[in-house]
Amino acid sequence: MTSDFTAVLDLPAGPAAVSALFTSADGVSRWWGPTEGDAGVGGTLVTSFGPYGANAMRVLEAGPTRVVWESIAPDGSAPTGHTQEWLGTTMQFDIVPMGEGTRLQFRHAGLTPQLACWEDCVVAWTQFMASIRTFAETGHGTPFRV
């Protein structure tokens, strides 16, 4: 049994549209925050949270049904306050076709209640999961805006 943060979303969008949210900087920018970088395997994505700093993720997998990012220290920009706790954790997005839509299974492996940022991170991930849902339903997410 794991205590990692997880979420399951049943979305009205097709698998290709859902996958596109995680396989390009533009896609990530649509639901999380302004993102730059290379979303291909081995690439690095950096999402800016303005005065709160930046998150950087090394892309470990970038397929149509599974995307995995590893949290790393951002190079050349200030990290967010939780970066130290996130280092080495992975964000896993499993994209499962379901009828007319898609089931997104999200797991932030290593983000557990033992971390000081747990409560704040749960609030933030819940907000960004809602942003993914809003994007799938309306074509417009609610990402962080700098």
| CA gap 87, 22 in Å, rounded | 19
Statement: residue 2 has pLDDT above 70? no
Q: What is the pTM of this model?
A: 0.95
2 — alpha (psi -120 to 50), left (phi > 0) or beta? beta
Q: Is residue 146 part of a domain?
A: no
Residue 127 lies in a domain: yes
Per-residue pLDDT tens over the stretch 26-45: 999 999 999 999 999 999 99
- At 146, the pLDDT band (50, 70, 90 cuts) reads confident
Per cent of the chain over pLDDT 70 is 99
- Residue 49 — φ and ψ, nearest 5°? -120, 40
131, 31 Cβ separation under 8 angstroms: yes
User: Residue 45 and residue 114: Cα distance in Å, rounded?
Assistant: 26
Residue 64 domain boundaries: 5-138
Give the domain CATH number at 107: 3.30.530.20
Question: Rounded to 5 degrees, what angle do the CA atoms 125, 26, 82 make?
Answer: 35
> What is the per-residue pLDDT across 58-86, written as a single tens digit (0 to 9) for each?
999 999 999 999 999 999 889 999 999 99
C-beta separation of 117 from 85 below 8 A: yes
Q: Is residue 53 part of a domain?
A: yes
**DSSP code for 80:** P
Query: Does 48 fall in a domain?
Result: yes
Closest CA to 132 of 31, 10, 13, 26: 31
Structurally, the chain folds into a number of domains equal to 1
